């Protein structure tokens, strides 16, 4: 009998296929003592295993490219963390085997994260994956992973580590479902980049029986277990209609009555540019520059290296708009040469612009590199600061841009509720706003954006979050300036219409989502979008907001 389950849809599309579960194994090595004379040999084994796993993660990243590469390089840094390695060697020195020392050292680090407010809880899957890879290598057993199959299937997992997600074969993996994760987890971001339908935060996903046929709707978050022929035909028909709409949609983003809404791409480096260009992106709304700084966490990249990479991206969008976010270090992106090591709660500490203002030389070099890279190019360069809290922050950033000789618009990201509430004040110092809805939801609801257990509060349809978006857009309109959205909210076609109705002036998203958003916007007038936005804000829950907007836009 058909059963319907609901998780959080994070990647558009419909997949119908048999369930295959991610391979798992208990990788807890036995606790046994070794003679003191064996300690140096065991320490050497541990170092070799760490180096091999780190090299493998980097190689996988090089193969995957784009955002996946940055994610996997960050995992490789986890494996090479000097404090973790020192802890492993200490444990071996007092009698642990290499594999047991690795297991226990990672467990201690896990506990440390939980004690720090669990801001990094969303990275626990990454941490566990690194540990399992090292332990598996030391034990000489295969690493649990994606199942072998000659037939296409729907992958089910507790969570997916980036190393597995990045190299999924979309010709075999029709879609995936996870018990954990959230809409902005690494798995969700990489699923969108791959164009694979995905649903996360589905309780009991692991209980789905191997071989059962399920249908996954990555747009609604619905899972249909053992769908009948009628349901399969309905879903297939809907998927075909979506594909036809996508094929017929082209050109700049606009509502059906001609209200322009530029559709921009989020990119993590030059490797993401071809997909953005192919999708018809009208520019870049979020150029994440962190990938440059992850190659070596002990020092910043040189002026020359930064200039070269920035120019590659700028050259790809002649006459287009490219919005660059300066380095957003701290919290879940720690860098040894910048980030305090002893913060009790990194989420609420020195991160983003705060970090850069504490290290003005790093900010100055990056701004100078951007200025140099843009010289002589017919591109509209805009540069924005992450984690702006108030007018003082905005003024400090604008001053730094001017001192570096940057001929560009300066902007502020709205990721903290105070910035949305005082947007008009901030706009006295900068020329545009860009809403990072992922962090804005996290700070509005005190709900870690990576923790599946609080995914209800990370839903960008939450009316309180829509209120903050509206406040920011209204402030920008009053000041005659622009206000875009570069968070994952923009990738939801229905929500894109609501954001447009709230007064947002541009939408930036992963390249794979641009055709969906373009096609949906083109079906509705600006007035319809405004009515949908009003209906969504009048609701009390995210689900009711979504339903209310859908009713307006479907003419119910």
**252 DSSP assignment:** S
Confidence tier at 250 by pLDDT (50, 70, 90): confident
| pLDDT at position 13 | 85
Token pair belonging to 152: 């296409």
| Burial of residue 534 (number of CB atoms within 10 Å: 0-12, 13-18, 19+) | middle
Are residues 153 and 135 in contact, defined by beta-carbon separation less than 8 angstroms?
Answer: no
Confidence tier at 112 by pLDDT (50, 70, 90): low
C-alpha R_g of the chain = 24
Q: Per-residue pLDDT averaged across 543-554, rounded?
A: 93
DSSP 275-319: HHHHTT-SEEEEEE-HHHHHS-TTSPPPHHHHHHHHHHHHHTSTT
Q: Is 122 a residue whose pLDDT tops 60?
A: no
pTM: 0.71
DSSP 363-393: HHHHHHHHHHHHTT---EEEEEESS--SHHH
pLDDT tens digits, one per residue of 341-364: 777 777 788 889 999 999 999 999
Q: Residues 145, 149, 151, 157: is their CA dihedral positive or negative?
A: negative
HSE-up (13 A, CA, CB side) for residue 364? 6
Confidence tier at 117 by pLDDT (50, 70, 90): very low
Are residues 405 and 381 in contact, defined by beta-carbon separation less than 8 angstroms?
Answer: no
Confidence tier at 315 by pLDDT (50, 70, 90): very high
Are residues 198 and 187 in contact, defined by beta-carbon separation less than 8 angstroms?
Answer: yes
pLDDT tens digits, one per residue of 452-508: 577 788 889 999 999 999 999 999 999 999 999 998 789 889 999 999 999 999 999
CA distances from 469 to 142, 373, 434, 486 (A): 48, 32, 10, 12
Token pair belonging to 111: 């506990």
DSSP 471-537: HHHHHHHHHT-EEEE-SGGGGSHHHHHHHHHHT--EEEE-GGGHHHHHHHHTTS-HHHHHHHHHHHH
Q: Is 115 a residue whose pLDDT tops 50?
A: no
| pLDDT at position 119 | 37
Residues annotated as catalytic are 186, 486
518 Cβ contact list (under 8 Å, min separation 6): 249, 250, 251, 253, 263, 280
Give the strand pairing for 198-200 and 8-11: antiparallel
Q: Is 9 a residue whose pLDDT tops 90?
A: no
pLDDT tens digits, one per residue of 182-206: 766 667 777 777 778 999 889 889 8
Give the strand pairing for 213-217 and 222-225: antiparallel
Q: Is 335 a residue whose pLDDT tops 80?
A: no
Max mean pLDDT range (134-138, 218-222, 501-505): 501-505
């Amino acid at each position: 009998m058909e059963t319907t389950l609901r998780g959080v849809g994070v990647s558009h599309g419909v997949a119908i296929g048999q369930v295959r579960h991610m391979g798992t194994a208990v990788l807890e090595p036995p606790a046994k003592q070794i003679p003191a004379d064996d300690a140096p040999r065991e320490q050497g084994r541990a170092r070799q295993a760490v180096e091999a796993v780190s090299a493998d993660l980097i190689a996988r990243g090089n193969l995957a490219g784009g955002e996946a590469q940055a994610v996997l390089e960050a995992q490789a840094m986890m494996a090479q963390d000097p404090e973790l390695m020192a802890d492993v060697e200490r444990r071996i020195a007092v009698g642990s085997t290499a594999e047991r020392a690795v297991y226990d050292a990672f467990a201690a680090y896990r506990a440390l994260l939980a004690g720090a407010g669990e801001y990094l809880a969303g990275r626990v899957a990454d941490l566990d994956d690194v540990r399992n890879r090292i332990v598996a290598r030391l034990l000489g057993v295969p690493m649990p992973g994606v199942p072998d199959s000659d037939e296409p299937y729907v992958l089910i997992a507790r969570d997916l580590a980036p190393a597995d997600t990045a190299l999924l074969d979309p010709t075999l993996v029709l879609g995936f479902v996870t018990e954990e994760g959230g809409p902005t987890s690494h798995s969700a971001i990489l699923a969108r980049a791959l164009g694979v339908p995905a649903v996360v935060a589905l309780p009991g996903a692991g209980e789905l029986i191997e071989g059962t046929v399920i249908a996954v709707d990555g747009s609604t978050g619905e899972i249909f277990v053992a769908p009948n022929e009628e349901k399969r035909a309905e879903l297939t028909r809907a998927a075909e209609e979506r594909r036809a709409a996508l094929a017929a949609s082209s050109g700049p983003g606009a509502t059906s009555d001609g209200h322009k809404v530029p559709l921009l791409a989020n990119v993590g480096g030059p490797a993401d540019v071809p997909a953005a260009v192919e999708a018809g992106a009208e520019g870049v709304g979020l150029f994440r520059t962190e990938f440059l700084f992850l190659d070596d966490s002990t020092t910043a990249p040189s002026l020359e290296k930064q200039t070269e990479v920035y120019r590659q991206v700028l050259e790809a969008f002649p006459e287009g708009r490219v919005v660059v976010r300066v380095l957003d270090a701290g919290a879940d992106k720690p860098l040894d040469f910048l980030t305090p090591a002893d913060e009790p709660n990194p989420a609420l500490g020195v991160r983003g612009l705060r970090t850069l203002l504490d290290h003005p030389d790093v900010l100055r070099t990056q701004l100078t590199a951007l200025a140099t890279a843009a010289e002589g190019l017919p591109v509209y360069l805009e540069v924005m600061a992450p984690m702006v809290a108030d007018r003082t922050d905005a003024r400090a950033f604008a001053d730094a841009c001017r001192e570096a000789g940057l001929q560009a618009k300066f902007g502020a990201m709205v990721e903290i509720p105070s910035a949305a509430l005082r947007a008009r004040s901030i706009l006295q110092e900068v020329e545009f706003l860009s809403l990072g809805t992922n962090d804005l939801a996290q700070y509005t609801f005190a709900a870690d954006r990576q923790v599946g257990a609080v995914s209800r509060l990370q839903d960008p349809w939450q009316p309180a979050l829509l209120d903050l978006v509206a406040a920011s857009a209204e402030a920008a309109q009053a000041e005659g300036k622009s206000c875009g959205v570069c968070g994952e909210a923009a990738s939801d076609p229905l929500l894109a219409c609501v954001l447009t109705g709230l007064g947002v002036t541009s939408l930036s998203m992963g390249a794979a989502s641009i055709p969906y958003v373009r096609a949906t916007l083109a079906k509705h007038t600006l007035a319809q979008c405004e009515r949908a936005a009003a209906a969504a804000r009048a609701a009390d829950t995210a689900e009711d907001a979504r339903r209310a907007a859908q009713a307006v836009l479907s003419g119910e």
